[in-house]
Amino acid sequence: MLLFFVRISNNLLNLSINLLIINDYNYSMTATNRKVPGGDINLLTNIFLNSAPLTTSLFFIMRAFVVFQILFAGVRLIFKVLKKSIDKYVLRSILGIIYILVLLLIMQITIRGRGQSWIYINFQLVSIIFYTIILSVPSKYHLFTPIVIAFMFFNSSFTSWESWCSGIVLLIFYYSLNYIKNNTKSKFPFFLYFTVSFISGFLYWFFIKIKYAINTPTFFQQVIYLGIIELFTFGYIAILYTDVESRAALFRDATHDKLTHAYNYDAFDVDFRSLFKDNILSDGKFTMMMFDIDHFKHINDTYGHLAGDKVLQTIVDVVQNVLADNDENIKLYRTGGEEFNIIFPHYQVQDTQVIVKKIFEAVNHTEVDVGQERIHITISVGVSEISKKDVSVNDFYSRVDKALYHSKRNGRKEITII
């Protein structure tokens, strides 16, 4: 599977590189006699130094980002089709590391041993931003230092003091970005990111200038290009952050109860039907618990609706704490006024009994203070497991509902399992 992903990445990256090489080749046919300080104009130099280099670089970086997003979405779809479970953040990190390493390796191969072997420097610096901020690879894995040393070995740079200095600058750059990411309150500290990136890039280019004897005008041109590219890159990432936050806010509003912040009926209906379908297709067991608050109408009538709201909020907090201590994959839904459902994915009914009992006891030992009064809360509970006899979602839901009402008819504050 991993080899398959690498092949996909390699093909996509080769396509991007080949497009640029073709453009450069076509252009160089009309400019074979032109010279620039430091050597002949050859592979990709026309694009980066003479033919709209900034625009080309920006489009190339954007294309690299977009290709990765497409690749990531495709691989996630493959895992979903194969019904393989993997944390999306872990997958994103692994795939991103492979992607960026393959891309940089291809770039290095195309320019190895040529006069202008520094022409991809700005993209290498942007790659660190991609690695650190977009992929969010935890620094505790210590992958970055071996990567830098590996590329120094590939470029035969161990004997160059300038390469060692530039390598140290890259490490400082990487760990500085990590420090900012993990130690600032701002969700996206744009100014700090840009300042550290530009200073690090300037220092990196300084040692590259010495190593390759780049003339001063070209040096400052590339540093200015780097600043613009970094502004573009951080602006793009900031837009992604804003978009993610907006979608997250819309998702919360659409799927969560505004009063208690538990999942709402719409979210319950989607999850319930999805699990029911999985059961039909692959025998995916799950269990559901339904409970409501005993004498809730009496609480509202006696203490007022604000007191009733406080009771609902308190119960949700208590139940969520129990679920968090046992299994975060179990969800709590408010499906009616005082009625709640809990779905236990991949649980058989006997496996839920410990958690059900903890919830039952925790809620029944809860009291809510309302002014000078103290309200004691109890709940009635019904529990059942999906069955092959359930032809529709209504069959299963009705059975759980029947278990709940059995508890209520038999004196309340009881658990009924069917």
In this predicted model, what pLDDT tens digit does every residue of 21-42 receive, in sequence order? 333 333 333 333 444 444 443 4
pLDDT of 296-348, one tens digit each?
A: 999 999 999 999 999 999 999 999 999 999 998 899 999 988 999 999 998 99
Place of tokens 């450069």: 24
Tell me which residue has tokens 């479970």: 85
Higher pLDDT, 277 or 40: 277
What is 265-417's CATH superfamily?
Reverse transcriptase/Diguanylate cyclase domain (3.30.70.270)
**Both tokens assigned to 349:** 């009914």
Average pLDDT over residues 74-95: 80
Q: What is the bridge-based pairing of β-strands 379-385 and 415-417?
A: parallel
Binned at pLDDT 50, 70 and 90, residue 285 comes out as confident
* Continuous segment of H or E residues that includes residue 290: strand 286-293
Helices 121-129 and 88-111 cross at an angle (nearest 10°) of: 170
Q: Residue 56: pLDDT band by 50, 70, 90 thresholds?
A: low
Give the type of residue at 229.
I
Per-residue pLDDT, 377: 93
Query: Of all residues in the chain, what percent carry a pLDDT higher than 70?
Result: 81
Strand order in the sheet with 331-334: 331-334, 339-345, 286-293, 379-385, 415-417
Residue from 231, 214, 348 nearest 279 by CA: 348
Name the residue with higher pLDDT: 109 or 297: 297
Q: Which two tokens stand for residue 353?
A: 């009994």
Residue ranges of the domains in the chain? 2-255, 265-417
pLDDT band at 134 (very low <50, low <70, confident <90, very high): confident
CB-based contacts of 193: which residues, under 8 Å, 6+ apart? 129, 133, 177, 180, 234
Which pLDDT score is estimated for 415?
95
Q: How confident is the model at residue 43 (pLDDT cuts 50, 70, 90)?
A: very low
Which pLDDT score is estimated for 41?
A: 38
Cα 378 to Cα 311, 344, 405: the distances in Å are: 11, 22, 15
Q: What average pLDDT score do residues 371-399 get? A: 91
Are 400 and 352 in contact by the 8 Å Cβ rule? The answer is no
Q: Which of 87-96, 170-179, 227-236, 338-347 has the lowest mean pLDDT?
A: 87-96
Rounded percentage of the chain residues whose pLDDT exceeds 90? 35
Question: Taking a C-beta distance cutoff of 8 angstroms, is the pair 134, 96 a contact?
Answer: yes
Alpha-carbon distance of 178 to 199, in angstroms, equals: 16
The token pair at 58 is 């920006």
